[in-house]
Structure 1
């Protein structure tokens, strides 16, 4: 197996499905090159979709946000865990049923849109609790949810991302808030809707018809695992949460098909590699439980070779065996 992708990666797929945070933007600012990459796909007439675990905005709001960044997007192209959670509860509960919401107004709006009644207190007899990320979620919200779940309400989490990317580094995500309730209740949610559950991706993939869909994400534990569970190829971009060190330590169910530093890998065969892979110029030897990289070449090729070695011997300890290797490891954010 080689690391050379050959033709443009995007040409092998009928649909490109993007995660948002860490791929297209960080919080509310576009990642360098993302606007241009999506614009190029639109210019070529290629369909795209966006799948996000973020439940703090409605699909229409996400589309407006993208459009404001220079990425024209329609609400129907956006798949959010908030909308998916609302649809799941619509199918399980009577029309007009009360649902206690831990999250933002966007999550409440999605519930109203499917005919359910969002409430804030356990004494309003909710049949379910839906928990999504919201920067204003506080102890009182979690306390009401705890009382409702102990009283028999179904507990649905939009996602369990432990952190979300930001310009200041990873910050606590919905998974951290779910963990608070998990600790208090002594059990897991009844249902988790978002990634790595495959629902968002399988819904998006159906839009590709008989063609293949490619998932582009920045997290191994949600995007890549979710893509694998949905049977999709995936591209990990190193612009968000997961880095090269995490990739080398990845379990089999969290290993991507391809890796690129950013979205340029969709179009430039020299900017993307298949992992694991072998490439002329680089070699890896195991010495005393450490993988020693030697030779020269592109840093991404070095990463592909290292993935093959690390995944085979289950060791992610790396050191450089040459000056060129030291430079490549530095470019990848790996000590050596």
Structure 2
């Protein structure tokens, strides 16, 4: 992981913030997110709220943000519905009918781009677009299947298998897309994260010149940032757990790590390999008997994540040299306590 000797909020002009798992989970705010984002704004950083969830309009997203204590305006919200509608508008004539498998957010986005939402395969749609909708039923999927089997192009707003909730991960748009894929044998195009179309939409709408992507998912937020050539901050307030971070492939490795969005106000130490030992601050991790040994710790420095940064650097080094996933072990009671806290021991 790269280091930075100043707060991220002063290095980057716009934070492209994922929402579910970063700012809120379901309809509950992530602890510390309102204060952290307010402090980032006070430091001069602009915020864009970027979500793969296609079910809400920007105004509805703003309403939820305000309920969890995060002031925002609709112009600061970028949804996968908007990216999908932009993609279609670039490829279809104005006023073309589009079969919408989704709800208000997707209908509004398609209309905003000058296309005509329709809801039956018999309306001769020029394309099918599918976005997350908890009320998706068999009849909607059936209309989509009929149109897709007739050869109509099919676009998904995103392919996330799950969405976070206070009760744990629930089926996301990718799971509903899988039903249609199974029924038709067709694979849709997709424009949500990690597709660069979503990043382009976010940059265009926010006017960012040097953005940083902030997210909780390696396979959407972090991969999307890498594919777009943008730096990224992984926060541990949502889906990704430390064990998942250690197993990340090169395309899924973040540049920075934080517990939550308050990490935008932090300086970030560099994690690096030195003579076969992964170092971050005073934390040290080395290979011993086929395991990653955490044998030196920071004394309560910073955000307490330097041991995890060093472990990730060591694990990635092992993977990149073609070795199998190593065990993680501790040297001493203090290191064992750290591994337990991280869910690694």
TM surpasses 0.5: yes
Question: Which position in structure 2 is the counterpart of 1:322?
Answer: 332
TM-superposition CA deviations, 1:56-106 (whole Å, max 9, x none): 011222123223332221111111110111122222222322211111122
**Contact preservation (8 Å) 1:14, 1:208:** no
Q: Secondary structure at the match of 2:279?
A: coil
Q: Return closer, same or farther for 1:255/1:37 CA change in 2, 3 Å cut-off.
A: same
CA distance in 2: counterparts of 1:93 and 1:203, whole angstroms: 18
Q: Secondary structure at the match of 1:227?
A: helix
Q: Secondary structure at the match of 1:92?
A: coil
CA distance in 2: counterparts of 1:211 and 1:86, whole angstroms: 23
Question: Which position in structure 2 is the counterpart of 1:157?
Answer: 156
Q: Kindly report which structure 2 residues correspond to 1:18-97, keeping only aligned pairs within 5 A, or say none.
A: 18-97=17-96
Question: Which position in structure 1 is the counterpart of 2:134?
Answer: 135
TM-superposition CA deviations, 1:155-191 (whole Å, max 9, x none): 00000011111111111111111112222222310x2
Give the aligned CA root-mean-square deviation in angstroms. Answer: 2.1
**Contact preservation (8 Å) 2:269, 2:280:** no
Q: Kindly report which structure 2 residues correspond to 1:161-176, keeping only aligned pairs within 5 A, or say none.
A: 161-176=160-175
**Contact preservation (8 Å) 1:205, 1:212:** no
CA distance in 2: counterparts of 1:252 and 1:19, whole angstroms: 21
Question: Which position in structure 1 is the counterpart of 2:294?
Answer: 293
Question: Which position in structure 1 is the counterpart of 2:322?
Answer: none
**Contact preservation (8 Å) 2:17, 2:215:** yes
CA distance in 1: counterparts of 2:184 and 2:73, whole angstroms: 39
Question: Which position in structure 2 is the counterpart of 1:302?
Answer: 307
CA distance in 1: counterparts of 2:17 and 2:281, whole angstroms: 32
Q: Secondary structure at the match of 2:129?
A: strand
Q: Secondary structure at the match of 2:56?
A: coil
TM-superposition CA deviations, 1:300-330 (whole Å, max 9, x none): 1111111111111122531223211111112
1:110 shift after superposition = 1.8
CA distance in 2: counterparts of 1:12 and 1:230, whole angstroms: 18
**Contact preservation (8 Å) 1:283, 1:294:** yes
1:10 shift after superposition = 1.8
Q: Kindly report which structure 2 residues correspond to 1:5-16, keeping only aligned pairs within 5 A, or say none.
A: 5-16=4-15
Structure 1: 4+ residue segments shifted above 6 A: 207-210
Q: Kindly report which structure 2 residues correspond to 1:216-227, keeping only aligned pairs within 5 A, or say none.
A: 216-227=214-225
Q: Which runs of 5+ in 1 are unaligned?
A: none
TM-score (norm 1): 0.91
Q: Which runs of 5+ in 2 are unaligned?
A: 273-277, 320-324
1:206 shift after superposition = 5.1
CA distance in 2: counterparts of 1:101 and 1:288, whole angstroms: 56
1:273 shift after superposition = 4.7
Q: Return closer, same or farther for 1:241/1:183 CA change in 2, 3 Å cut-off.
A: same
Q: Return closer, same or farther for 1:141/1:289 CA change in 2, 3 Å cut-off.
A: farther
Q: Kindly report which structure 2 residues correspond to 1:204-215, keeping only aligned pairs within 5 A, or say none.
A: 204-205=202-203, 211-215=209-213
1:295 shift after superposition = 2.4
**Contact preservation (8 Å) 2:40, 2:265:** no
Q: Return closer, same or farther for 1:275/1:223 CA change in 2, 3 Å cut-off.
A: farther
Q: Return closer, same or farther for 1:136/1:203 CA change in 2, 3 Å cut-off.
A: closer
TM-score (norm 2): 0.89
